[in-house]
Structure 1
């Protein structure tokens, strides 16, 4: 990866410098593989082997179970830098490291189950994601009730249904699902281990983020033991509220893609000199204006992202809950800035940016996906409006 004015941004310690260096090294390798995985829509098992070898899967596991216990700032730092190499890989692994941070905060799993899984992550490279989206319900953030059903049986539950947008599905051996409890109005959450009754239908053939492995997962009377019924446990009843800070892995990914597009456009502008000019196009006023616009948007979005992450890290549990709107705003600002930055980079490079031989067209497609990751733009703006309207004079 090239040196950038942003390289030291947000690095405050030797630990963070080491994390950044590791992710930069991985990103350089991932960037070489990204065109092939994007073209084929294939899952990057090779990238995940490298992530495991580098210890990145342990990033947000508590120290007591052998992990690095990274802060939210450090999570954002790692994710942003991985995404410079391959957005699909960064977004996919972001769900794992993000959920491990969420679980560390909520402690919603029974402690023996949580401890065992943390050790599997550290020792065996296990990963986790939550499969909640369904064809009929759309995004779970909209509140639809799952059609997946959990039915009581001896010693546990039989779960049947179909989950969509199941990122990491080709590689996961564990995932959680939400399912309606048969005969009741309740919704349960269950930890499922891949095995009999679990199958994957390879439906993921999309415009962008083509290598996240977000296929449909089909559950056909899958047995889940009682001890894996998370929402029915005493720990779940006493869990701490989920403040949503872990979701900053999403805007971090899209800012990373935008950063890479920005760097590519700068290198191109400083080296490309058509025979109609006496100097590279970087000397042209309108190109400099476009570069300035990119800098303004990227610096603004990155500054807000890290500022919110730092406030979250420094806040009490109650204070973190009050940051909900700021967390949403950081995502809204980052994803929309990423769209604009990549568009600006393509305008600088011109028609050549459409070529599949260059990375910009893939980056352009990948950042579009940010609009459809939670929280959605309309929900963020509505939340900000409601908070403003609820202010007392």
Structure 2
């Protein structure tokens, strides 16, 4: 409904391809995935066939190598069709960026070729029970050095893509290290590893199709599967996760806003003789939501543009602004759309209650909005800030 800033023909073609899939295929399937808490396998087959599964894979390996601007708008369109597909797609695409930044040439050839040719999916696995990114994060998943690699043991929570992933980009801490910067490390663990066990099935209010199960890892990881040296994650830009979340939750809000406008234009409630759009209160609601949506889109676009410059501090500021604002706008838009529809809004035959449930996750996804605001405030006051912080655990032998 709102025009995008100027884009190249190549950028627009990718975004349009994503929008067409979301509109023509994903939207019709979304309710089923939600009701069954089922992974959107069909959507991922479509993404693979459209070459979008390799959206962030470098061209040298057969991928699209989309820039951040193209990526966020394509992701926003995908989320408009299916929230769970958008959220899990962001995890997969962000991890491919981490492999590109930290992996060896052998890693890139192996995993990128699998994504391009076979449609392999890679999940990002960091969150753990009883931990929170709102403070310094204490990883309890331990990488214990053994001949030939590491023995990895720990329990991970909110594992989006669950057992649908082909590989897990698993993050923990090396046993015996005294600081997170010296000890935080990541490795690729295949889903087929006998030490990978799903312990808790995902049963959430929203984002049900992400199947973000709880998974226990008790695996031998060869040294060849380790991605980067200990502490290497702290040397690269990790803002891709939060930038993607901004796009996803804005996309959900946009879907609700577009539904709201069409509903108001076409729905007449007796004894009125004109559609709801003629009522001043409805007009006010649409105006407020539409203005917030447009502002969030512009902020998202600016965040992607700044990320392309490589300015780490400027990126931290605007990405945190985009994430917290888009998450709030997505939740507000779905709630206002539901209220505008009245009692019909809570019925399952309309998508409004599903969008609202999905949007509930936005403000609490790390970096949670409270943490985003703290980071923004520190930066604007000229203070040192970090979106995510890790701390080494004591004792490290808890999962031996």
Superposed pair shares fold, TM > 0.5: yes
Assess, with a 3 A threshold, how the Cα gap between structure 1 residues 387 and 213 changes in structure 2: closer, same or farther: same
1:126 and 2:120 aligned:
yes
Partner of 2:4: 9
Tell me whether 1:108 sits opposite 2:105 in the alignment. no
1:236-286 Cα deviation digits (max 9, x unpaired) = 759852251453111101111111111111111111112211211110111
Once the two structures are TM-superposed, the CA of residue 388 in structure 1 deviates from its matched residue by 2.9
The farther-off stretch of 68-77 and 175-184 is: 175-184
Structure 1 gap segments, 5+ residues each? none
- The runs of 4+ residues in structure 1 deviating greater than 4 Å are 236-240
Shift of 1:70: 0.3
Pick the aligned partner of 2:50 from 31, 42, 54.
Answer: 54
Q: CA 1:321–1:65 in 2, change beyond 3 Å: closer, same or farther?
A: farther
Equivalents in 1 of 2:14, 2:372: separation in Å? Answer: 31
* Aligned counterpart, 1:187: 184
Q: What residue is the counterpart of 1:232 in the other structure? A: 229
C-alpha contact (below 8 Å) 1:108/1:240 kept by paired residues: no
Q: Which runs of 5+ in 2 are unaligned?
A: 384-400
Paired with 1:198 and 1:162, the residues of 2 have a C-alpha distance of 10
1:81 is aligned to 77
2:161 alignment counterpart: 168
Task: Give the structure 1 partner of residue 393 of structure 2.
Answer: none
CA shift at 1:304, angstroms? Answer: 0.9
Task: Using the TM superposition, give the Cα deviation of residue 144 of structure 1 relative to its aligned residue in structure 2, in angstroms.
Answer: 2.4
TM-score w.r.t. length of structure 2? 0.89
Task: Tell me how many residue pairs correspond in the alignment.
Answer: 377
For 1:189-338, what aligned pairs fall within 5 Å after superposition? 189-194=186-191, 195-220=193-218, 222-232=219-229, 240-313=235-308, 315=309, 317=310, 319-338=311-330
Structure-1 residue corresponding to 2:129: 135
Q: Does the 8 Å contact 1:102/1:244 carry over to 2? A: no
- For 2:124 and 2:34, the matched residues in 1 are separated by 24
3-state DSSP class of the match of 1:23?
Answer: helix
Out of 199-208 and 9-18, give the one that drifted further.
Answer: 9-18
1:146 aligns to 2:143 (yes or no): no
